[in-house]
Structure 1
Amino acid sequence: MTASRHGRHDAAAGGARTHDAVVVGGGIAGVTAALQLADAGTRVTLLEGRPRLGGLAFSFQRGGLTVDNGQHVYLRCCTAYRWFLERIGGAHLAPVQDRMDVPVLDVGRPGRARLGRLRRTDLPVPLHLAASLATYPHLSPAERVSVGRAALALGRLDPADPALDGIDFATWLARHGQSKRTIEALWDLVGVATLNATAPDASMGLAAMVFKTGLLSDRGAADIGWSRVPLGELHDTLATKALEAAGVRVLTSTRVRETARDGHGRWQVRTDTDVLDADAVVLATAQREAHALLPEGALEAPDRLLEIGTAPILNVHVLYDRPVLRRPFFTALGSPVQWVFDRTEASGFGDGQYLAVSQSAAQAEIDAPVAELRARYLPELERLLPPARRAKVLDFFVTRERTATFAPAPGVGRLRPGTHTRAAGLYLAGAWTDTGWPATMEGAVRSGFTAAGAALGALGRPHEHPLKEAA
């Protein structure tokens, strides 16, 4: 049965016809767009090829454990993702630190491992980080002064300046006196985790956006939040409930084969089993899938989507028979280990401690055999965490996302399309679109806002942007 017979009708008393929209893709961007469209009175069908929602931020079962495919965090400045959590009823399940506090363990220098902390105070920007930087043990006094000067220069930049997109972050840092050690111990410490690229491979425009927004916009902007429950509980279970409560028809395990205009100016979305009619379509898939579904002429240069590269993230999961880490997370220097998170409670593990090691920009390791990764990371965890030397490893496994994010390489800005296409009624959403943000959950939500807003404007539906800053 087609959607035209399923859903299109005029109001019973002769009122205005209810418009139909189809959202293709059930990741965070697609869920956001569907909620916004439904909240404005549009009848929405959301189609997802996987048997679940959540895109690349999901959970799966492994024995008695609920495992996240990767560790995802957000910052207090991620106002769109915080709206998303509130909208699906999950904000209390993914709280933010009272204030930014990042333990940084350096094991790469002779002698004992040394713990430093990056944390803020309640002083105004930029003084909120001054005390932390002044006592940061992983940099020399001269390096700390150079960081302050570079931060002031960064604060004067406009991340939207196209010229910044054409150079890499490492080049800019070198021009501003940043040593190799300073980049390792500070700039890449933050940048690799947020951009999924090291400084030489990152667009200066995106790097400026991350650091200016996260560290120089508000004293609490970089306070870290993360889910205390499996991601699937947020992005699938709660998201599905919110969608259904809003009246969205959610169809999972439904692969879209084609989008095309009919002879009456409406859209037809063809799946393996049905054809859905719509007044508006939002493609909220990855860029390559969107390229395959775009009708001819929808973008001036559609093959630019294929030029947007991807970057992998590797996650190493280790289950110990006893606690080996006393804090919720830490990051490391002088080690292949990047960030380590305690996922014991969230996973339902009750026989020791479960640590997740999150490795961004993992091109060199993404295809490495599990045995090789085990031989590399277990000794490193013992070096970082002395209690691990006495613990028994109950399980060791790896999750790989080979196309976890778009690659934030210099020049990527000119490749990222806006939400509008040349085909009326067809819109794009996804963290890879031109949100101004790197590939984050925040960027995904913002793209959903933009696509839904464009569709509602074209349909003549009154709507308000959820974020006051964008009103």
Structure 2
Amino acid sequence: MPKRVVIVGGGLAGLAAAESLSARGFHVTLLESRPRLGGRASSFEDKTSGTLIDNCQHVSLGCCTNFRHFCERTGLASSFRVERELNFIGTDGIVNRLKSTSLPAPLHLAQAFNRLSYLDSRDRVALARGLSALAKTDPSKLNGETFDVWLARHHQTENTVNRFWHVVLVSALSESLDRIAVAQARKVFVDAFLAHRDGWTVQIPNAPLDELYGSPLVAHLERQGVVIRTGAGVRRLVADGDRVIAAELRNGESIEGDEFVLAVPHYLAASLLPGNVADSSAVQDLERLETAPISSVHLWFDRSITDLPHAVLIDRLSQWMFNRTMLQAAIGRKDPRHYYQIVISASRELDGTPTADTIAAVHEELCEIWPDARAATLLHSRLVTEHRAVFSVTPGSDRFRPRQQSPIANLQFAGDWTQTGWPATMEGAVRSGYLAAENVLTRDGRAEALVQPDLKRARLARWLLGLS
């Protein structure tokens, strides 16, 4: 008789565990408290516009091998638009197009970096030296240094700090430079920009996230026998001695199982665990993980303001523009209104700012960049903030991230907050689900590697930068 696996949490970590275990013959029950799957990668209906909008724009990168594998397994890969050219717009209004040359990594983007109009020759020299030094840095010898301190030690100019390092990292990690561990900053630049030609390419969902993780994904999982129960909030995990035996729902129902995976946000984990586990150091340390917010300004105009599908905005409150109307047109969506989402990561500075003021500031910035926006009528606007969007990759934060194996043998943890080697990303979430599933398989006597290998590092990158 197949073993019963109960997974608590229908975000990407839980979904990855459910997909991989059900494909290997386990009887999987997936419990999600919300009415939909996807966790933080979700959408809701804006009542005024009638539009399904994402709580925050999510993107993936070419270096995210496990997220890509999950999408390929579940039939979601075709729902992403692959971008091999990024647009960076400085205060001079010039559109700088970042794209690879035919050179191997790490030289494939050198020409693009060297042509950024908002960096002068001194900035470019500093940037090249900084990237090389960062790649050659041993992250095990950093002694809790924050990235702003590292940048100062390596003589980065004010422009490179504000117009390059900050721009990339605030989008990738949703944190300010004075709170980012050097090791995490290094991972972003090595994996995405230096080690492989395709590491930096961006994959953007064409559809709202609720549709992405909705019916097609549910159908795939159900074909594999997964029992999906949304609206099934768990009150607690019930233990008998040194085993978890059931998940008790808020309505009093008990879901029994042989193996359990807890795949909820880190700040909810302790409240669901048996007392002896909740009091363990591994779980208590989760309280020391800090979080960072991400805000999105959603704007609907009566006409197009730009023909760019997306753009990174330099030296502004607005950080990244996504032309949702254009992106969704690729899947046949037509709307007479033109809908744009503007992302502001690490948005603590918005605390206490009236919503109308934030929207007005973003609107004015768009008008400065694209004059057509001034002539367009703003039909509707909305500010959405995910207050605990990601855990903060502060120095030492890895010490507070537990392994997937919990103190109870038949209970696994899953979530981007566990030990994955990655920051808070969709890639990290999927990796954690695969790692938790590997532990379940091992306990069943079927050791199997589920985590996908990283992109192979280019020979020239290994030689020039000492990458292993």
Percent identical pairs in the alignment equals: 37
Asked whether 1:150 is paired with 2:136, we answer no
Shift of 1:462: 5.0
How far apart in 1 are the matches of 2:397 and 2:289?
7
- Structure 1 segments, 4+ long, off by >4 Å, are 263-266
Structure 1 pair 315/367, CA: closer, same or farther in 2 (3 Å)?
farther
How far apart in 1 are the matches of 2:32 and 2:100?
41
1:289 corresponds to which residue? 268
Judge conservation of contact 1:366–1:400 (CA < 8 Å) in 2.
no
Structure 1 pair 43/140, CA: closer, same or farther in 2 (3 Å)?
same
1:380 corresponds to which residue? 365
1:4 corresponds to which residue? none
Asked whether 1:360 is paired with 2:341, we answer no
How far apart in 2 are the matches of 1:40 and 1:466?
15
Q: Secondary structure at the match of 1:302?
A: helix
How far apart in 2 are the matches of 1:190 and 1:165?
23
Judge conservation of contact 2:191–2:199 (CA < 8 Å) in 1.
yes
How far apart in 2 are the matches of 1:80 and 1:372?
40
Which of 250, 263, 283 is residue 228 of structure 2 equivalent to?
Answer: 250
Which of 107, 124, 135 is residue 115 of structure 2 equivalent to?
Answer: 135
How far apart in 2 are the matches of 1:382 and 1:454?
53
Shift of 1:458: 1.0
Shift of 1:469: 4.8
Structure 1 pair 423/230, CA: closer, same or farther in 2 (3 Å)?
same
Q: Secondary structure at the match of 2:349?
A: coil
Judge conservation of contact 1:57–1:68 (CA < 8 Å) in 2.
yes
Structure 1 pair 189/207, CA: closer, same or farther in 2 (3 Å)?
same
- Over residues 268-292 of structure 1, what are the superposed CA-to-partner deviations in whole Å (9 max), with x where a residue is unaligned? 1111231111111111000011121
Asked whether 1:341 is paired with 2:322, we answer yes
2:78 corresponds to which residue? 92
Amino acid at match of 1:207: A
Q: Secondary structure at the match of 1:315?
A: strand
How far apart in 2 are the matches of 1:173 and 1:133?
18
Judge conservation of contact 1:291–1:306 (CA < 8 Å) in 2.
no
Amino acid at match of 2:320: W
Which of 82, 86, 92 is residue 68 of structure 2 equivalent to?
Answer: 82
How far apart in 2 are the matches of 1:31 and 1:90?
13
Q: Secondary structure at the match of 2:340?
A: strand
1:406 corresponds to which residue? 391
Amino acid at match of 1:133: F
Structure 1 pair 410/464, CA: closer, same or farther in 2 (3 Å)?
closer
1:23 corresponds to which residue? 7
Q: How does 1:4-83 map to 2 (within 5 A)?
A: 17-62=1-46, 63-83=49-69
1:8 corresponds to which residue? none
Which of 171, 188, 198 is residue 193 of structure 1 equivalent to?
Answer: 171
How far apart in 1 are the matches of 2:392 and 2:445?
36
Shift of 1:113: 2.6
Which of 299, 303, 328 is residue 318 of structure 1 equivalent to?
Answer: 299
How far apart in 1 are the matches of 2:417 and 2:242?
32
Shift of 1:82: 0.6
Judge conservation of contact 2:89–2:314 (CA < 8 Å) in 1.
yes
Amino acid at match of 2:315: G
Bigger shift: residues 60-69 or 241-250: 60-69
Asked whether 1:278 is paired with 2:257, we answer yes
1:12 corresponds to which residue? none
How far apart in 2 are the matches of 1:76 and 1:196?
19
2:100 corresponds to which residue? 120
1:217 corresponds to which residue? 195
1:232 corresponds to which residue? 210
Shift of 1:407: 1.2
- Over residues 164-203 of structure 1, what are the superposed CA-to-partner deviations in whole Å (9 max), with x where a residue is unaligned? 3721111111111111210111111110000101211111
How far apart in 2 are the matches of 1:178 and 1:265?
53
Judge conservation of contact 2:41–2:54 (CA < 8 Å) in 1.
yes
Asked whether 1:166 is paired with 2:144, we answer yes
Amino acid at match of 1:49: S
TM-score by length of 1: 0.91
Shift of 1:158: 4.4
Judge conservation of contact 2:175–2:392 (CA < 8 Å) in 1.
yes
Q: Secondary structure at the match of 1:178?
A: coil
Structure 1 pair 199/268, CA: closer, same or farther in 2 (3 Å)?
same
2:462 corresponds to which residue? none
Judge conservation of contact 1:65–1:349 (CA < 8 Å) in 2.
no
Count of matched residue pairs: 446
Judge conservation of contact 1:191–1:207 (CA < 8 Å) in 2.
yes
Shift of 1:468: 4.2
Amino acid at match of 1:296: G
TM-score by length of 2: 0.91
Shift of 1:235: 1.8
How far apart in 1 are the matches of 2:241 and 2:117?
68
Bigger shift: residues 122-131 or 47-56: 122-131
- Over residues 298-344 of structure 1, what are the superposed CA-to-partner deviations in whole Å (9 max), with x where a residue is unaligned? 34342211110111000000111011011101111222111001001
Q: Secondary structure at the match of 1:71?
A: coil
